[in-house]
Structure 1
Amino acid sequence: MNKSLPSIVLLFGAVAVFSCSNPEEKSIPDAEINAWFDAQYEELLLMSPLQLTTQGRKDKYDQIDDMSEAGEDQRLAWMEASVKEMKEKFPFESLSPEARVSYQLWEYQYEMEKSDVAFRRMNYVFNQMSGPHTLLPNMLINYHRVDESSDMEALINRYQETGRAISQLLERAQLQTAGGIRPPKFAYDYVIQQSKALLQGQPFTPEGPEAPLWKDALLKIEKLEKEDKITSEQAQSLQNKAKAALVEKLKPAYEELIAFLESELPSLEEKPTGVSRHELGNAYYAQKLKSSTTTELTADQIHQIGLDEVKRIQGEMLAIKDQVGFQGDLKEFFQFINSDPQFFYPDTDEGRQAYLDESTSFLDEIKTKLPQYFGILPKADLVVRRVEAFREQPGAPQHYSQGTPDGSRPGTYYVHLSDMKAMPKSTMEGVAYHEGNPGHHMQVAIAQELESVPKFRTQMNFNAYAEGWALYSEALAKEMGQYQNPYYDFGRLVNEIWRAIRLVVDTGIHSKGWTEADAIQYFTENSSIAPGAIQAEVRRYMVIPGQATGYKIGMLKIQELRKEAETELGDQFDIRRFHDRILGGGALPLDILEKEVKRWIEEEKVRAE
């Protein structure tokens, strides 16, 4: 999932009247503190032109964020002052339960960013998964909407600003290298390839088709001309300006980046272990686990949870193997699933379109069942798309990109389809529910549409909550009557064991000295995931330590909380109300989510009296 930014809903929660622990202390209405949060959040949001664009706003539309360490320090200093002001203005005991959650979240995000500062030169600036070298062009193509000529002028300025931002990030990568922190060699191999793809074709080279950014610029200018918003002369002028900005500002920055990356290749490890090989690596990894799981679980504890879950899920896999009458052991069944032609679409344009069409049909079908399981439903649309060619990777995981709060841009489920052998039909159904409904799209869209919480909460993202919910949604879809094909139900278990294996492999790589080969071997022996996807996955974990652990930890917590609610409430348990409680306050750290569900259970008991 690709979700990172805060929201723009201008509504406050209702005024709450309640007793305080100190009768002398005055209750503070929710509207008062929510108004303060909204004003503060607006200040914070204005520090990030890209976040504004992600939300569909055109403020600072011609700018790109300050990507320097100094810019990061400025933001953190602002957050520190904001938290201090909050504590002075709003005594915690004077707040309603809902306002206390907002208070804790505002402080929590500051404390986490403050803790990250000590390790900021350990995050690999450029990597194949989430590097800004592809993120920025993706933003310009897919998020920067051009409705008027002024929007195109702003985009042209952003081409220049992108050159500046890449140069700032390159400086950070050089500082990282000077400190002895280098990613695996494969990471820079990919980044070089991706960066060169952006500069391939016109106007950067005299021959070949239009490069991605140039093609996008021409289409946006052409649209303005067709809508009679500019003349042909103005269109030509905009084309000339866009070409100059791309060739004179953006291209040199990318060429400098490519030159640096290529100069680094001889110094990079071909067969690295995880971040524990770096000085402070163990402390850094502990911080990443805390951030990714929003728990205090150690690497050893997470590793063991993974081993236990792999064993449990394999038991369920054996039951389906026997159900379909396969003669052979589980490993042989994995090989069958991985190789039999019936489980793959052809590696053709028709096969790729068929994958997109069937995924869409699964999402259309489950959408009709949502009202039986949810009281709150998303208003925003969802579309299924293939990843753009310049950032597509064989076997790379599918992902979700959020839409705008106002619905002008739908949520998008993106699929990598360059290697159809890495995209089996069996796992396709579960992944659609994970990325779409009732998974990421539903959770993110509902959060963005909330009107009862401060704006910042409608856009918060906590890895374990968001990914845990999406993985929980894959299992929930079975309760909802999906996975009629037993092989697709097996694919659901493939997806789940995949996330359990992540707990074992991520901790193995970063805390137990596993190599890429060790991780691939464990993955291969315990799943039917395609070899190309396994390598892409392992390489993802190596450059983004800890992130992959949030999925299963989050799912297990949500399932644990549901079981507790079912036990405590008995016949009074309402699945729709439970789901509305999980989704109805936006993303939360798992410890806060647990407290909120326990509070809801007590409220439900009172309601039933």
Structure 2
Amino acid sequence: FEDMAATATHDAGIWRIPDGDKIYAAALHSSTSTDMTADEIHAIGVAEVARIESEMDAILVAQGLTEGSVSARVKQLMADPVHIFPNTDEGRKEMLSYLVELNDEVMAKAGAYFITLPPQKLEIVRVPEYSQDSSPGGYYNPPALDGSRPGRFYINQKNTADNPRWTLPTLLYHEAAPGHHFQLSASQLIKDVPLLRKVSPFGAYSEGWALYAERIAKTDMNMYASDPLGDLGRLQAEMFRAVRLVVDTGMHAKRWSREEAIAYMLDKTGNTEDEVTREIERYVVWPGQATSYKTGQLAILKMRAKAEAELGEAFDLKRFHELVLMNGAMPLGILEKTVDDWIADEKGG
């Protein structure tokens, strides 16, 4: 390490190495499966951060939280014990029961929005204690291809205060129904496509769908009708993904320092400095990957808006979802062509 330290630099971005700009452009293309430039992605991120911040502020004001920045008020709400499950075995069981209840509620509505519902069972379980220190707040493992194992949504319960009640709905909609569980489980049912497309290696597609699922839980399925704080949790999660667009391109294309990126993320998200530092250091060593989530969501929303505009009253949301989910994972450009072909067929039909 001493030998390496002599030649090391504090610069965080990949721009610092020979052909770094070309390498980053390739990384963005690989992660987003689009040809968007770093400048375009950065501008989208800045605009999305401003939009989301405004929507979060409106909810916070309606809840009587008017003093301080949006992120400061979110931190205040995160620490409010009234929203935190007890950090005990009983409290953890209560949290799991709440998540099961949420999943049951969304599944009861899903038939109105989807043609194919995953027949595979979903289990909601605690992240094993031996791995909780290095695990995220929640994640999803798809069912075994041979049906020997169900899909599982894992929730990290090392400290229940990390996941206040109002943050849990959007986490469930992302990881379980109608997010990853719908996309990854349903893809296993597709006939006559390569295994590659069933296991979904295209991050912008799979994560884009999960973020799209968070959005339709509000806009279509009306899951937050009586839960404004749950909607705040949705926006907080969306803010996190929008900020990623800004800081990733900021460091790797606009020559932001590591510290500038940390400061921006702290200011906008309400996360702790430790959480933000871990995130930023991940982006330093994995250029471009963090841009895939929000890029994918916005692409799917744009495709849907185009289909709605061109088909008018003939637009069928269930059939649109079937088209996106039941053709297997693919780059966004190919998905866009698939949607365009479907629109043309619907017009000609």
Same fold (TM over 0.5): yes
Distance 1:515 1:502, change over 3 A: same
Q: Which residue of 2 aligns with 1:197?
A: none
Give secondary structure in 2 for the equivalent of 1:392: helix
Q: Which residue of 1 aligns with 2:335?
A: 593
Match of 1:470 among 203, 206, 210: 210
1:324 aligns with 2:66: no
Q: Which residue of 2 aligns with 1:52?
A: none
Matches within 5 A, 1:176-575: 273-329=12-68, 330-393=70-133, 396-478=136-218, 479-483=220-224, 484-575=226-317
Give secondary structure in 2 for the equivalent of 1:412: strand
Shift of residue 263, structure 1, vs aligned partner: 9.0
Measure, in 1, the Cα distance between the counterparts of 2:300 and 2:159.
34
Distance 1:530 1:348, change over 3 A: farther
Higher relative contact order (CA 8 A, sep 6+): 2
Measure, in 2, the Cα distance between the counterparts of 1:476 and 1:264.
52
Deviates more, 1:534-543 or 1:430-439: 534-543
Q: CA RMSD in A?
A: 2.4
Residues 467-500 of structure 1: per-residue CA shift (max 9 Å, x gap):
1110000011112121232111101000111110
Shift of residue 509, structure 1, vs aligned partner: 2.3
Shift of residue 545, structure 1, vs aligned partner: 2.0
Measure, in 2, the Cα distance between the counterparts of 1:587 and 1:346.
40
TM-score, length-normalised on structure 1? Answer: 0.53
Measure, in 2, the Cα distance between the counterparts of 1:363 and 1:341.
24
Shift of residue 377, structure 1, vs aligned partner: 1.4
Unaligned runs of 5+ in 2: none
Distance 1:380 1:530, change over 3 A: farther
CA contact (8 A) 2:137 2:163 kept: no
Residues 171-210 of structure 1: per-residue CA shift (max 9 Å, x gap):
xxxxxxxxxxxxxxxxxxxxxxxxxxxxxxxxxxxxxxxx
Shift of residue 434, structure 1, vs aligned partner: 0.4
Unaligned runs of 5+ in 1: 1-261
CA contact (8 A) 2:184 2:200 kept: no
Measure, in 1, the Cα distance between the counterparts of 2:96 and 2:7.
38
Residues 217-262 of structure 1: per-residue CA shift (max 9 Å, x gap):
xxxxxxxxxxxxxxxxxxxxxxxxxxxxxxxxxxxxxxxxxxxxx8
Deviates more, 1:389-398 or 1:373-382: 389-398
Measure, in 1, the Cα distance between the counterparts of 2:181 and 2:2.
41
Give secondary structure in 1 for the equivalent of 2:309: helix
Shift of residue 320, structure 1, vs aligned partner: 1.2
TM-score, length-normalised on structure 2? Answer: 0.90
Distance 1:359 1:537, change over 3 A: farther
Measure, in 1, the Cα distance between the counterparts of 2:26 and 2:319.
34
Residues 128-187 of structure 1: per-residue CA shift (max 9 Å, x gap):
xxxxxxxxxxxxxxxxxxxxxxxxxxxxxxxxxxxxxxxxxxxxxxxxxxxxxxxxxxxx
How many pairs were matched up?
346
Give secondary structure in 2 for the equivalent of 1:413: strand
Shift of residue 286, structure 1, vs aligned partner: 1.7
Q: Which protein shows a greater Rg?
A: 1
Residues 583-602 of structure 1: per-residue CA shift (max 9 Å, x gap):
11011111111111011111
Shift of residue 271, structure 1, vs aligned partner: 5.9
Amino acid at match of 1:407: G
Shift of residue 505, structure 1, vs aligned partner: 1.1
Q: Percent identity?
A: 41
Distance 1:456 1:520, change over 3 A: closer
Shift of residue 556, structure 1, vs aligned partner: 0.7
Residues 260-300 of structure 1: per-residue CA shift (max 9 Å, x gap):
xx899977979661333334433322221111100011112
Measure, in 1, the Cα distance between the counterparts of 2:93 and 2:17.
44
CA contact (8 A) 2:124 2:154 kept: yes
Residues 495-518 of structure 1: per-residue CA shift (max 9 Å, x gap):
111110010011122223333332
Measure, in 1, the Cα distance between the counterparts of 2:153 and 2:11.
32
CA contact (8 A) 2:169 2:230 kept: yes
CA contact (8 A) 2:72 2:270 kept: no
Shift of residue 422, structure 1, vs aligned partner: 3.0
Amino acid at match of 1:320: I
Give secondary structure in 1 for the equivalent of 2:152: strand
